[in-house]
Amino acid sequence: MKIKFLGTSAGWPLPRLGCNCEICSSKDPKDTRTRTQLLVNDKILLDAGPDTYKHLVSNNPQKIEAIFISHAHHDHVLGLWDISHIYNRQQVPILFVTQAVLNGIKKIFDTNLLKLKVEVIKPSERVHLKNTKVTYFPVVHGNTPAFGIKVKESKILAYIPDFNKILPSSQKVIRDCDLLAIDGSSLGKIGKTQGHISIADGIQISKKLKAKQTYFIHIGHKSATHRSLEIYLKETAGPNFHPAYDRLDLNL
């Protein structure tokens, strides 16, 4: 399974406009982050935030076959407009979405104007895309209907960008996953926002799930620089915990 972390920031990209904090003034390119989304095998897009155009213009957008949306917040759906207007595409992408999330998308877009096939699926329904199986599983993200996304081939990716609780039934679905991409909106209690966990929380959640590798995504303005996060995770959690960064490529 080929995984590209297109974006890794929280709801606003880094650096933040007008900010001169350590993160926003960093010269390390890994501290420049766009809204969180993943591309799997060059053809399966997990979330479609406002930076989608920027990423796909150099990542063969014609290959996109399927799109999965974790929840209907603007930083995860605004790019659907750009995806629906791709020239010379090999096929019309299918937006696989739960009814709850589709209802949220309709509050932002007239979905009749999106040139996408829309297929409403149940949260536990498995989508077969040749050798790849994709499943939504429910999580708690404040009052917003939200889901994690499980991608399975010979190994398992669990993608959970926004949440403050994983239901026991969902924990069973992703236990022992090979790669966990998880909410890292803040480092600890300082800067922790409603509907999100911290990186400190995520370490404990990952250990409980027995994930083999953990990459933090949705990294917020109140976390730390990429280098500081690397050191913190190595010292606090161990060698299998990492901060993701934009354009990181992994093979699973």
Residue 60 CA to residue 88 CA, distance in Å, equals 11
Q: What is the pLDDT of residue 105?
A: 95
> Domains, the chain, ranges and CATH?
2-245 (3.60.15.10)
Q: What sign results for the dihedral spanned by CA atoms 45, 62, 6, 33?
A: negative
* Pick from 198, 138, 199, 162: nearest CA to 77: 162
Through-space distance between the first and last CA atoms of the chain, rounded to whole angstroms? 5
Going from the first residue of the chain to its last (252 residues), give the mean pLDDT of each consecutive group of 10, the final group possibly shorter: 98 94 95 98 97 91 94 96 84 94 93 87 94 97 95 98 93 97 86 82 97 97 93 97 98 96
Q: What is the pTM of this model?
A: 0.95
Neighbours of 122 (CB within 10 A): 10
- Report pLDDT for 191: 58
pLDDT for res 59: 86
What pLDDT sits at residue 114?
83
**pLDDT confidence of residue 134:** 98
Per-residue pLDDT, 37:
98
**Measured in whole angstroms, how far is the alpha carbon of residue 105 from the centre of its chain?**
17
